[in-house]
Structure 1
């Protein structure tokens, strides 16, 4: 088997619609079957699905090679937040520890996800003893061992080329944080969120000022969606307009920046949902204020950093749904309360 070929710039995309959709809504059994097909074609010994390690641990796929056993944990939805990825890595580590306890061997640990993970996210959160593989690796191996067509049929896989997101990614990586480039960062954020969310959202209105001339909102994206995720956001969080505030700070944002955005949000104004686009995320005080704004005023504010934005671009470029990052961040926020 070849080494990991993870590269979010040239990621094949899953086809839209159906069980093999770009949003990662795969049947886990289909992914396990496709991966097993590749290992069997490569001549691997004892490829076993749902391999049980005692009463409390089950491995999605185990390759019981006597020289180097391999444990593969398969996720049918790509983890797109730090917490989700950390949880998945903790799970595969627990399986590895249990295998070593029972059999006295240290297995190779593999986490398989259907969609892309931005390289920065992998380097920052994935330890060196876990290999992360995805559809690109799977297709490369299937091609190598002559079962590509069979694997494609299982996954309903479609390749699509996208370059616009790659250009935006390169711009973001080149743009330095700090006051001198805040105008460029704001303009780039407007382009990025248009690329990610429009359609179904309307393209962003830039530098919107209210009637009193007091509140200046960097970007506002009208939300007239009648179905899907953004319709849910309108109904649940009064997200009639998506208010996006771009902060090109070198350090994590703090309480004042969250309160500034919170002041923009109101029932009779743009609604009660906002996004803070930052370079380095938020500090503890910013997270506390986000929690207070939700619990007291029903305002929900999501903070994105560069890694989140790059992950959304990678997901979009792979034919996926970038709102999955937003969905998972909101879920993590709500479930932590």
Structure 2
């Protein structure tokens, strides 16, 4: 005990020589008691720090349906030979994540002239803030979803494929392009051009984002936060 006190006095003397003020917990608590609004923010910060350091095993457990969907996605091999399985799984995932905010999808719906086939059309049926914003900025009543189970990264061609199904007169101007990995640079540039030139908004959902959607739904959070984060980054980086 004597050595600890000596060490503390030595540390304080050193700090004083350097012009540093040392506050112990008692001093901090006294200061915080004078400023309750700062105390509240400080406690929030401490709680967030504690949560961030919480071991993985103490995190919320995924529900059984979420575990099943993520497991099936992880074992499904990318490649055109499994394209139908990927489409079916993604539709299941979108239903799990977004219903009732989005309505029952019309899968593989064919256009009136029978020339175009869209993977899935999901009507927006929610007053949730995110979906109302999408309806407003895109002048849309639905979300188009396309699914590409490619081994390679999607490119400009795949963006142009979904873009042709986004049609202002049909109030169908928002789409998500689901693929197994992050998009290539040509896809990113094509997405930018679709918005700049034609007001067609497209978001990319790789396996990572799809899993984040599932986890958010299982944890009782807002899955739209995953979409909104990408949307904010897109608009933040957008320039003439």
TM range (shorter): 0.7 to 0.9
| 1:238-282 Cα distance to aligned partner (Å, 9 max, x none) | 231110000000011111110010000011124211000000121
Provide the residue aligned with 1:327 in structure 2: 228
2:186 counterpart of 1:248: no
Structure 2 alignment gaps of length 5 or more: 1-39
State the 1:219 CA deviation: 0.9
Of Structure 1 and Structure 2, which has the larger fraction of its residues in strand?
1
Q: Report if the CA contact (8 A) 2:140-2:168 is conserved.
A: no
Greater Rg over alpha carbons, structure: 2
Structure 1 alignment gaps of length 5 or more: 1-26, 36-73, 75-111, 115-132, 142-158
Q: Report if the CA contact (8 A) 2:160-2:190 is conserved.
A: yes
Tell me, in whole angstroms, the C-alpha distance in 2 between the residues paired with 1:255 and 1:321. 30
2:88 counterpart of 1:187: yes
Change (3 A) 1:165 1:255: same
Change (3 A) 1:34 1:164: same
Provide the residue aligned with 1:32 in structure 2: 45
Tell me, in whole angstroms, the C-alpha distance in 2 between the residues paired with 1:315 and 1:307. 12
Provide the residue aligned with 1:307 in structure 2: 208
2:123 counterpart of 1:229: no
Identify which of structures 1 and 2 has the higher relative contact order when contacts are C-alpha pairs closer than 8 Å and 6+ apart: 1
| 1:294-316 Cα distance to aligned partner (Å, 9 max, x none) | 11111111111111111111122
TM-score (norm: length of structure 2):
0.76
Provide the residue aligned with 1:293 in structure 2: 194
Change (3 A) 1:193 1:138: closer
| 1:95-143 Cα distance to aligned partner (Å, 9 max, x none) | xxxxxxxxxxxxxxxxx7x6xxxxxxxxxxxxxxxxxx36x549959xx
| 1:191-221 Cα distance to aligned partner (Å, 9 max, x none) | 0011111111112111011101111110111
Q: How does 1:71-220 map to 2 (within 5 A)?
A: 133=52, 137=55, 140=58, 162-220=63-121
Q: Report if the CA contact (8 A) 2:100-2:126 is conserved.
A: no
2:234 counterpart of 1:336: no
2:150 counterpart of 1:265: no
Paired positions, count: 199
Could you tell which deviates more after superposition, 161-170 or 192-201? 161-170
SS of the equivalent of 2:164 reads helix
Q: Report if the CA contact (8 A) 1:253-1:282 is conserved.
A: yes
Q: Report if the CA contact (8 A) 1:189-1:246 is conserved.
A: yes
Q: Report if the CA contact (8 A) 2:110-2:116 is conserved.
A: yes
Q: Report if the CA contact (8 A) 1:242-1:270 is conserved.
A: no
Tell me, in whole angstroms, the C-alpha distance in 2 between the residues paired with 1:32 and 1:171. 37
Query: Which 4+ residue blocks in structure 1 deviate beyond 6 angstroms?
Result: none
